[in-house]
Amino acid sequence: MKTVFITGITGQDGSYLAEFFLAQGYRVAGTVLNLREVPDTFPPGLLNRVELMEWDVLNYKAMEDILTGYQPVEVYNYAAYTSGEQMFEDPVGMGQINGLAVTQILEAIRKVNVKIRFCQASSSEMFGEVCQTPQSEETPFKPRSPYGATKLYAHCMVNIYRKHYGLFACSAILFNHESHRRGLGFVTRKVVHEAVRIKLGLAHELKLGNLDACRDWGFAGDYVRAMWLMLQQPEASDYVVATGQVHSVRELCEIAFSRLGLDYRRYVRQDAGAFRQPEKVQLVGNPEKAKKELNWEPQIRFSEMINMMVDTEMERFNVQKD
């Protein structure tokens, strides 16, 4: 039985990828920060089907031992400080976890088994202050946050290990991707969560920043499938993973509240204090390379994804009441 190894396996992307590989009959193992917190963050149906272990991301020797013991055919790295509201809170820790730890994984692969294939979850935040739209693999990077800068360091190290050491190492330049497994620090889940609370009479309004801010939002399950496809190619390369379409926060609100039979205009208020500095040029990905070389394209549309999130959120509240 082939083994795959996923760092940050209990996060949104890690859990979707774990489900994907289990369905194909793989042995799936992965790391978490704290095993005691797993029941609160991991889908119950996965708990007894994957092998979990705690890992200090700065412990290089531990990763070397893990790879030696498991000998996975593929490694996917999702262990990272997230973006969203936490992007500026701990730049030092972010640099260690999002940047240095990735180099340590690559070095462990180089020492243990250079045939292990590796995929790094990179980010559209690396583009930052872009001068062209849409953004492709050829667009220059100019990050404007600690999160984007640390992701860019890791992205560069992936390229160095691929070219200098011959590792099959790829970066997936992921644009925003969502699901009902997102944390409440992300605007998609925040809107859905509060819309349900308003529907149930537990809240009366939702304060947001710029409703006209736009993002290229896709479904997380589609994006992890793209990462898997990247490691099935004859040669390693980096790919932008995006929908190529943008939607506004206003549209997000309209879809989520409409799913619940509500008019968002009665409940959503713009809060000037929550406004984030807008991009001069729109962040939207060009997924043509992934479509052409991987034969990949998103299967879940934006409206369908938001409706799925609303339905699942409502189920959560109903379970809590019971």
CA dist., res. 35 & res. 56, Å (int): 12
Is 147 part of the annotated catalytic residue set?
A: yes
**Is it true that the peptide bond before 91 is cis, omega within 30 degrees of 0?**
no
| Distant-in-sequence, close-in-space partners of 123: CB < 8 Å, separation ≥ 6 | 83, 147, 148, 151, 173, 174
Residue entry with tokens 């968002």: 264
Query: Looking at 81, 124, 125, 313, which residue is catalytic?
Result: 125
Task: Report residue 65 as tokens.
Answer: 């031992």
Query: Looking at 15, 83, 122, 123, which residue is catalytic?
Result: 123
CA dist., res. 280 & res. 238, Å (int): 25
Are 146 and 87 a contacting pair, CB within 8 Å? yes
Query: Hey, CA dihedral for 246, 251, 257, 261, is it positive or negative?
Result: negative
| Distant-in-sequence, close-in-space partners of 107: CB < 8 Å, separation ≥ 6 | 60
Return the H-helix or E-strand segment holding 214: strand 214-215
Buried b (16+ CB within 10 A) or exposed e, 149-184: bbbbbbbbbbbebbeeeebbbbbbbbbbbbbbbbee
Please name every residue paired with 247 in a beta bridge, in sequence order, or none if there are none. Answer: 215
Number of neighbouring beta carbons within 10 Å of residue 69: 12
Are 240 and 173 a contacting pair, CB within 8 Å? yes
CA dist., res. 279 & res. 266, Å (int): 28
Is 125 part of the annotated catalytic residue set?
A: yes
**Residue of 133, 146, 164 whose CA lies nearest to 244:** 133
Query: Looking at 26, 147, 223, 264, which residue is catalytic?
Result: 147
CA dist., res. 35 & res. 166, Å (int): 35
Residues serving a catalytic function are 123, 125, 147
